[in-house]
Amino acid sequence: KLVSREFKEENTRIRIGRQVEVGGEAVPIIAGPCAVEGRQVLDEIADALHAMGIPMLRGGAFKPRTSPYSFQGLGELALKYMSDVRERTGMPIVTEVMDPRDLLLVYKYADVLQIGTRNMQNFRLLTEVGQVDKPVILKRGMSATIKEFLMSAEYIVSHGNDKVILCERGIRTFESETRNTLDLSAVPLLKKLTHLPVVVDPSHALGRTDLIPAMACAAVAAGADGLMLEVHVRPQEALSDGAQSLTPQAMEELLERLEPVARAV
Ligand code: PEP
Ligand code: MN
């Protein structure tokens, strides 16, 4: 397999923009709101993250909501707001593409294409993002085995795009105190099986903010190449995933906790 360590021994390093590298020595953080809700609130969040040195901004324009009556995202408007943030701050932007029909549009604005957990086995979508030249964050399906996860990555790489970043975001188990169960063993296991970088998203794994700092530190200690975290200036007003969104202040405190852990690995 093209994604296997046997095929390629050295770690794949993926450059994003001018400053960021995923898979190298640093542990870059991707942070931002679950969804882009408006220009002003996005600017508030992005400016706070930029001020604390977060190198990459995330934000959903097309949201895969469980209910068709929930906020579905602002679409192209959200992509425009994010690219304006990039213009102003230099932060590369990460956003989800849900459907092959949206790929050209999302491609036009995004620096990194995200494939969500619900689309990990959307093979047409994987094939399409395999034919573009921008990095892809592939999130693990909420019920996917490690083998299935790697085969989905193989779809993308085998179609020509080797810039794939794997993201462990929690899997479904019987436990209901947390939204999902963060499978941290996936990190060292994936690092053993594949040369692709592995990042961890504690926000979607836990679904609550109080456990995020501990698990973010644990993810870095386990060898994660990066973290994805949801941040909102007013989590209680967020249109999606407010319960798991850190405030900028909590994000800043987490950065301080992470620093010695990142230095130690
Ligand atoms: C997200 O990143 O906002 C998201 C919807 O993630 P996942 O696909 O992991 O649920
Ligand atoms: Mn979310």
Residue type present at position 191: K
228's enclosing H/E stretch is: strand 226-230
Q: How far is CA 127 from CA 13, 99, 110, 199, in A?
A: 22, 11, 18, 22
Residue nearest to atom 10 of ligand 1 (CA): 117
73 CB within 6 A, ligand 1: no
Q: How far is CA 57 from CA 28, 64, 66, 192, 215, in A?
A: 11, 19, 24, 28, 21
What SS3 class is residue 242?
helix
Q: How far is the CA of 253 from the centre of ligand 2 (A)?
A: 21
Domains of the chain: 28-260 (3.20.20.70)
Test site for ligand 1: of 58, 65, 117, most ligand atoms within 8 A of the Cβ: 117
Q: What's this model's pTM, rounded to 2 decimal places?
A: 0.98
On whether ipTM exceeds 0.95, the answer is yes
pLDDT tens for the chain, residues 1 to 265: 999 999 999 999 999 999 999 999 999 999 999 999 999 999 999 999 999 999 999 999 999 999 999 999 999 999 999 999 999 999 999 999 999 999 999 999 999 999 999 999 999 999 999 999 999 999 999 999 999 999 999 999 999 999 999 999 999 999 999 999 999 999 999 999 999 999 999 999 999 999 999 999 999 999 999 999 999 999 999 999 999 999 999 999 999 999 999 999 9
Q: Which ligand is nearest to the CA of 64?
A: 1
Residue nearest to atom 1 of ligand 1 (CA): 34
254 CB within 6 A, ligand 1: no
Test site for ligand 1: of 139, 200, 241, most ligand atoms within 8 A of the Cβ: 139
Q: How far is the CA of 176 from the centre of ligand 1 (A)?
A: 18
**Whole-angstrom distance, CA of residue 61 vs CA of residue 237:** 18
Q: How far is the CA of 116 from the centre of ligand 1 (A)?
A: 5
Q: At what angle do helices 212-221 and 248-264 cross, to 10 degrees?
A: 30
* Assigned token pair, 162: 């080797």
